[in-house]
Chain A
Amino acid sequence: MYLKKINIWYLSSFLISLIVAIPILTVFSSFFDSTGNYSIILKNTFLYEYIFNSLVLLLGVLILTFLIGVTCAYLVSFYNFPGVSFFKWALILSFAVPAYIYAYSLTAFFENYGTAFSILKNIFGDANYNLYIPKFDGMMGAILSISFSLFGYVYVLTRASFHYQSQSLIELGKNLGFSKKKSFLNIILPSARPAIIAGLSLVAMETLSDFGSVSFFGISTLTTAIYNAWISFDDLALANRLSFYLLIFILGLFMLENFSRKKAQYHTPTKSGFKKKKPINLTGQKSFFAFTFCALVFFVSFLFPVLQMLYWTISFPKHLADLNLIKLFSNTMLLVFLSSILLISLSFISNYGNRVTKSKLLNLLTTFSVSGYAIPGIILAVAFITFISWFDNNVISFFGLKTIKSIFIGSVLGLILVYFIRFYSLASNGLKSGYLKINYSIDESAYLLGYSKFKTFTNIHIPYLKNSMLLIGILITIEIIKELPITLIMRPFNFETFATTAYIFASQDLLEAAAAPSLFLIVIASFFILITSKYILKD
């Protein structure tokens, strides 16, 4: 009976989900492998420090993103003040600035004889201003960089939740005689709680995955430990074992995020019961405070890194001239183009396969495989290399075939495949939410009008989901432009993108040279964010 369900759609979907699940399975299976001596040293010395640092970083970032994200979302959703329409979308531009570029800007501005020093010197003349300029390095620098780069998740999700809060809910509070403060604490905030938790879970996952900024600030976290175990000590098994620990933690957050998102749906009123909110007009000091807060967040999260990078790009034109911009742009776009095509087409097949087969096993595997987005890029890259090495040593050599390592490791193909695993959930979930809007009776109507499954797919689904495809394509583009650890590990020799170029210069302490590629990266990402802002803010 079960075999009857297996058809071409089932097989394709199964295979796609399996490929995505491979790194997760590799990490889990490697837990039982023996590791080198480094693991003993690590356990006796640094492991607890790595865990402690990771937790401090996580806590700091969560507190800061919560305060910034929720406050901004609250102000733009419930009040009218000068610039509110601008801030609604401008605040999401922070997505265009990766944490590692923020870290470069922060250091560049506050370091000894940095930009802050130059500004003070130009205004007030010569003096040793270094004594008075605060230093944001180490843990504080990492917390600030990651928070300003990630608070957007909390902002977007909380704002969506506030946006869908019906005027009737607010009126109910008034009717019960609640003060504004009591309404906020007892009605507004609790109903947005699932969205806030979902946002914070995403922030937590990204923070634990962060590699660029923590390595720049020299903080030892679990992510940098994985990188060091592999690169410095050549102990792939230990890297995998550390990944396992990190993964357990991240999967817990992933489940929390998923659960909260589902719960958030129940907090969204139905269309018929929805009454649009009437924002309150702020005047005087309150209006000034709201404007200043949003303007400050916008400035610090977006304008500050952009201006810093722009300043250096202009100040050091030689570095800009040395950059092969066309090559960097074409490399980045090549990766974007190939990955988008692969991700969208395979996600389409997998989603449609799930839809037509209605198989529980397939659904389970897909759900498992989409957890890939929760896994740090660095773990995915290491797990992918582990798997290819194992496959090459055990399967390929068994058949006496030529090694496949060079095809998949240090090649564009390997890089694209790991991108595929990393961003599969983005594409798959994006299409899934599009598919959820298509009632199943629409497929059935098509069959009853004589359309085959393939024709229903091409004539009904693809035209209907074309906007979703475009949006997913752009979101993938933004992610790939910013992506660092996978590109760094998997890229072919001498194949650079804006992200890797910036990182390489920064890691050599050549921050001025990192400015131009960082600036281009931000500008391109901002362009794509702006054209999708309508959709990002919608949900």
Chain B
Amino acid sequence: MSKNFLEIDNVTFAASAKNKVNNVSLQIENKGDIICLLGPSGIGKTTILRTIAGLEKIDSGKIILNSKVMSSKDIHIEPENRNISLAFQDNSLFPHYNVIQNIKFGAERNRNKKIFLNIDEVIKFLHLEHVLDKFPHQISSGEAQRTTLARSLLSNPDLLLLDEPLSNVDQSFKEEIQVKLKQVLTEHKITTIIVTHDSYEAFYLGSKCGIILDGQLKQYDDPYNVYHFPNSVEVINFLNRGTLIPAKVTGENTLESVDLGTIKGNFIKHYPKGSDVKLLIQPEDLEHDDSSNLKLEVVDRQFRGTNFIYTLKTPSNLMIPVFVHSHHIHQHEVDEKFGIKRPINIDHIVCF
């Protein structure tokens, strides 16, 4: 039997005949690990969670939890017998019970087991104290989502599945809840799969991230690698944090770009000298330097609080993002020239 805590072995998840995520294999090695699944809307992320929870059946492959087969072609353990909790994205609170009663439904599930989470503590960190007596129709969608999260957390599941858990939560609470949620999940070793379309949330919460695109699990790796070493053009396009520019490999550690000149760095993958490649440029790869003779035209400037992201146009009309600290001494307006430091050194070179 599998040594992994959760093993998904070659399973096709089907939301409908057309909408499928094919032949997915992924593992959660240890109890208490948190993984995140990222992908665009409608790709089938929720279906994956529903299938793991037992709400959908599978026709091939296996889902094994804690060395026990939960789903296969011939075996289907009913959702009520899996001890897997799924917090739905939409309001799934019992409409005729108030918030505290809904939360207690979670705690009741495993009342014979030792309750490892304190109900008051969960209510407090999810900021639900003021709505405990209210009914679902009397609270906001963010409060309903936090109540669902509380109910799921308190059900003491073997596996917790969270479907866009904070999508409706106010920005003012969101980061605080993310921090506390990660702390609670890690401290109490609650194995969790989180589905989200927010890559920042995924990179923060997950010890591993899976990228689902075009009906496939494209990449499953730790967040740093997913960001810095994307394994396909589709992943780069989905994360939308870089651009591909044409270049020629000129040596062991060098490339030559028509627009940017010589670029040095460590290749992640070997390419023979003279190869034409597409080089990934991410916002933090290039440095600003007013005194540089490599000047590009500013076409857009986004203020992100801690930084600016300038979009620059090269002579061959490529758009390149460049990160600049927001305390930088001066700002560049659209249509102005923007200097790029030379020589260009990129820590790791990702090409396709």
Q: State whether A444 touches B55 (Cβ < 8 A).
A: yes
Q: State whether A442 touches B95 (Cβ < 8 A).
A: yes
Whether B106 sits at the interface, judged by CB under 8 Å, is: yes
The CA-CA distance from A72 to B54 in the complex, in Å, is 54
Q: State whether A463 touches B96 (Cβ < 8 A).
A: yes
Interface residue stretch chosen among A32-40, A447-455, A492-500? A447-455
Known: A438-B95, A442-B95. A448 touches B85 (CB 8 A): yes
Interface residues contributed by chain B, number (CB under 8 Å):
29
Closest to A449 in B: B109
Closest to B106 in A: A449
The CA-CA distance from A181 to B86 in the complex, in Å, is 55
Interface residue stretch chosen among B76-84, B170-178, B215-223, B254-262? B76-84
List the B side residues contacting A460 at CB < 8 Å. 94
The CA-CA distance from A446 to B84 in the complex, in Å, is 12
Listed residue (B91, B93, B94, B148) with the most chain A CB atoms within 10 angstroms of its CB? B94
Q: State whether A464 touches B155 (Cβ < 8 A).
A: no
Known: A442-B94, A442-B95. A452 touches B80 (CB 8 A): yes
List the A side residues contacting B88 at CB < 8 Å. 441, 444-445
A441, A448, A452, A464: the one contacting B84 at CB < 8 Å is A448
Whether A175 sits at the interface, judged by CB under 8 Å, is: no
Residues 422-478 of A at the B interface (beta carbon under 8 Å):
437-439, 441-442, 444-452, 460, 463-464
The CA-CA distance from A441 to B79 in the complex, in Å, is 13
The CA-CA distance from A451 to B88 in the complex, in Å, is 17
The CA-CA distance from A439 to B80 in the complex, in Å, is 18
Nearest-neighbour CB distance to chain B for A438, whole angstroms, equals 7
List the A side residues contacting B96 at CB < 8 Å. 463-464
Q: State whether A439 touches B90 (Cβ < 8 A).
A: yes
List the A side residues contacting B79 at CB < 8 Å. 444, 447-448
The CA-CA distance from A441 to B83 in the complex, in Å, is 17
List the A side residues contacting B109 at CB < 8 Å. 449-450
Q: State whether A448 touches B80 (Cβ < 8 A).
A: yes
Closest to B161 in A: A448
Q: State whether B90 touches A447 (Cβ < 8 A).
A: no
Residues 65-124 of B at the A interface (beta carbon under 8 Å):
78-86, 88, 90-96, 105-106, 108-110
List the A side residues contacting B94 at CB < 8 Å. 442, 445-446, 460, 464
Q: State whether A447 touches B78 (Cβ < 8 A).
A: yes
List the A side residues contacting B36 at CB < 8 Å. none
List the A side residues contacting B81 at CB < 8 Å. 450
List the A side residues contacting B110 at CB < 8 Å. 450
The CA-CA distance from A449 to B94 in the complex, in Å, is 12
List the A side residues contacting B106 at CB < 8 Å. 449
Known: A442-B94, A464-B95. A450 touches B80 (CB 8 A): yes
Whether B53 sits at the interface, judged by CB under 8 Å, is: yes
Q: What are 12 A-B pairs at a CB distance below 8 A?
A: A437-B95, A439-B91, A439-B92, A442-B95, A444-B92, A445-B92, A447-B55, A447-B80, A448-B85, A449-B151, A460-B94, A463-B96
Given contacts A446-B94, A448-B80, A449-B155, 9 further A-B contacts (CB under 8 A): A437-B95, A439-B90, A447-B55, A447-B78, A448-B84, A449-B105, A450-B109, A450-B110, A464-B95
Sort A-B residue pairs by CB-CB distance and give the 10 closest, nearest first: A441-B92, A447-B79, A445-B92, A464-B96, A450-B109, A447-B80, A441-B88, A449-B109, A448-B86, A450-B80
